Structure 1
Amino acid sequence: MNGLMNNVKDWILQFFPQNARIVSIYPLKGSTTASLFEITIEISDKQKEHVVLRQYDKPDAVEKSKAISWVENEANSLIVAYSLRCSSPKFIGKDKYGEVSGYPLLLMSKLPGKVDLHPITITAWLENLAITLKDIHQNRLKDFSSKHFRYHHPDNLNIPVWSSHPEVWGVLFQLAKQQEPMYDPIFIHRDFHPVNVLWQGEEVTGVVDWANGCLGHAGIDVGHCRWNLAMIYGVDEADLFLEYYIKHAENRFSYDVYWDNVSLMDVLMDQPSVYPGWTEFGRKEITKEILIDRIDQYAISLYNRIKQ
């Protein structure tokens, strides 16, 4: 059971009955900002519980002050998401200041299932993905500690030098600088994409990584997922996901390309790099060159929607 100090194990066990003991600890993949561990706790001869510990021990990836904020926000998000029955982990405990190990800690229940980036039937997979997001958005929460904000101010955006279509990006930047549309905010995941969704077969078992949960527009989640789908598979898959979401959300959602564009601006990089989660879960064919081409193709698809 290497990887965790004894005082961290003691801290975990305080949330369980007195005679509980840790019987296994396994590292999990998928996080670029923290170490993840699956921990099995034996409550009795007939009862075991599986939990996940997130330990923000990668200072090169995230400053401690930001990790403290993320732990606090994810704890709040998990509590809200669980109350809304969003197929989320259940919050168990937190040590946001790192008093136990020197690193901020978050403890939550473990959901069944695994990340699946190689679906057998892509259309059914995309529809279930859309339904899952629609279910998260079926709320009218008005009171939450965090509200949506843009990661990059539009005045700081530059036409990417790597793009073969600078004129397209110029139009997208003009849209990004427009005043944000008025809307009634709801509780959103804020980082909804395929690596944060768990599956058993063709059924979704849950959604993880709620560190960015906030009040915002549903299109923010839709747009972030569409960008990821366009990078992993292509624009057609991203568009099909949107069709399914609109179908199942019915009159609760009105599509506006503005939010797709904002989501693209949020992830725009001077030097694009392949997200490690895609590679870790089997999409090793995505190179920097493929990524750049797909970003351009997705940008063109948004440009065409603007010009319609």
Structure 2
Amino acid sequence: MPEHAYGWIVAQIGSGAKVMAARSLHGGESPWWIDLMTSGGSAVTVVFRSLSSRINPEMIATNAAALAIAEQYDLPAPRLLGADLTGQSVGAPATLETVVPGTGWPVECSAELLRAAGAAMARVHAIRMKPSPVLPFRPRPIVIDDFATERRLGRMPTTPLLTHADERLRAEPVPTAVSDVFVHGDLWPGNTVVAGKSVRGLIDWKLAGVGSPGVDLGELRKQVAIVYGQDAPRFVLEGWERATDTRALDISYWDATAALNTSTEYNGPESAARRDEFLSRAIAQL
């Protein structure tokens, strides 16, 4: 972590804090997990985000704006402690945020936890808003990737299923019934902190914005189908629909959109096969 960032971090915490340790949360790059000690002997842990090979200034600004919305509406998310969006103090755009206590997802996942994830997502989608420069419109999850287009242009190998699914999806009208809600934009188990069968917080908001609830629903449903099996997505949907007391719209469209926004080989043959099964089910229901 840049040495000149330490002074800014300490200034945001105050109380004569001292940095005790820092470790990267992603391959030697940002974000960084920072352990501090106040002058009174209290331990404080924070997350420092700045530029990296995967994080640009726009993402830093989006993360800060999203965390401000999360605090305003009391969403389960980190709280923003400081932001230097111009980089005047840190040397590059940066934010500092609290750590949500909890753990990662278990090896075997209960229906209760999957429903809780759907319900946590529903709290985000309850917020209606217009796009802005820092929280723009999001037509798909993980908007920085567009693997379907890469395959279409011949920049990435494809398969008969992926080609057929892409053609089938493009023939469908883009759903517009609900497209003005707050979305996380990269909702997967790795960005969800849990405790037992409950969700403690949603983290890493750098791709947040405005769009359809399906942007997040499709992505999380795809992810849990790959990790936990093809029955898992229905519990996520149940949790969301119970929390909102509404029926999710165009879910097959958004499931297919999420599945197509993966690399062809994905994370190996087993994950790709599970992705393909999830995609096939979605296309069959369009």
Within 5 Å, give how 1:140-289 maps onto structure 2: 140-142=128-130, 144-145=132-133, 146-150=136-140, 151=143, 152=146, 157-158=151-152, 163=159, 166=160, 169-184=163-178, 185-251=180-246, 253-265=248-260, 267-270=261-264, 272-274=265-267, 288-289=268-269
Q: What's the secondary structure of 1:24's corresponding residue?
A: strand
User: What is the match of residue 114 of structure 1?
Assistant: 103
User: What is the match of residue 285 of structure 1?
Assistant: none
Gaps of 5+ in 1: 275-287
Q: Is the 8 A contact 2:192 2:199 kept in 1?
A: yes
Q: Which segment drifts farther, 220-229 or 86-95?
A: 86-95
Q: What's the secondary structure of 2:204's corresponding residue?
A: coil
Q: Which amino acid aligns with 1:123?
A: A
How many residues matched? 277
Identity of counterpart residues, as a percentage?
20
User: What is the match of residue 23 of structure 2?
Assistant: 27
Q: Which amino acid aligns with 1:125?
A: L
Listed one character per residue, the Cα deviations across residues 87-142 of structure 1 (whole Å, up to 9, x for unaligned) are: 111112233454556544221111111212424x5212211111111122222233
Distance 2:107 2:20 in 1: 29
Distance 1:154 1:42 in 2: 47
Q: Is the 8 A contact 2:218 2:255 kept in 1?
A: yes
User: What is the match of residue 305 of structure 1?
Assistant: 285
Listed one character per residue, the Cα deviations across residues 141-174 of structure 1 (whole Å, up to 9, x for unaligned) are: 33543111344396664398564xx257414432
Q: Which segment drifts farther, 227-236 or 210-219?
A: 227-236
Q: Is the 8 A contact 1:88 1:207 kept in 2?
A: yes
Distance 2:270 2:247 in 1: 35
Q: Which amino acid aligns with 1:122?
A: S
Q: Which segment drifts farther, 122-131 or 253-262?
A: 253-262
Listed one character per residue, the Cα deviations across residues 38-83 of structure 1 (whole Å, up to 9, x for unaligned) are: 22333342644321112323x3xx3xxx611100111111101121
Listed one character per residue, the Cα deviations across residues 227-269 of structure 1 (whole Å, up to 9, x for unaligned) are: 111221222212332233233322263343222222223x232
- Call closer, same or farther: CA 1:50–1:171 in 2, change over 3 Å: closer
Distance 2:34 2:60 in 1: 19
Distance 1:155 1:38 in 2: 35
Q: Is the 8 A contact 2:60 2:94 kept in 1?
A: yes
User: What is the match of residue 282 of structure 1?
Assistant: none
Distance 1:167 1:156 in 2: 15
TM-score by length of 2: 0.84
User: Which of these residues, 61, 70, 89, is aligned with residue 72 of structure 1?
Assistant: 61
User: Which of these residues, 8, 11, 19, is aligned with residue 11 of structure 1?
Assistant: 8
Q: Is the 8 A contact 1:172 1:303 kept in 2?
A: no
Distance 1:168 1:99 in 2: 46
Q: What's the secondary structure of 1:258's corresponding residue?
A: helix
TM-score by length of 1: 0.79
CA RMSD after TM alignment: 2.8
User: Which of these residues, 81, 85, 88, is aligned with residue 77 of structure 2?
Assistant: 88
Distance 1:155 1:54 in 2: 30
Listed one character per residue, the Cα deviations across residues 175-208 of structure 1 (whole Å, up to 9, x for unaligned) are: 2343322233111111111110112222221110
User: What is the match of residue 292 of structure 1?
Assistant: 272
Q: CA deviation at 1:219?
A: 0.8
Q: Is the 8 A contact 2:100 2:200 kept in 1?
A: yes
Distance 1:292 1:194 in 2: 18
Distance 1:203 1:300 in 2: 30
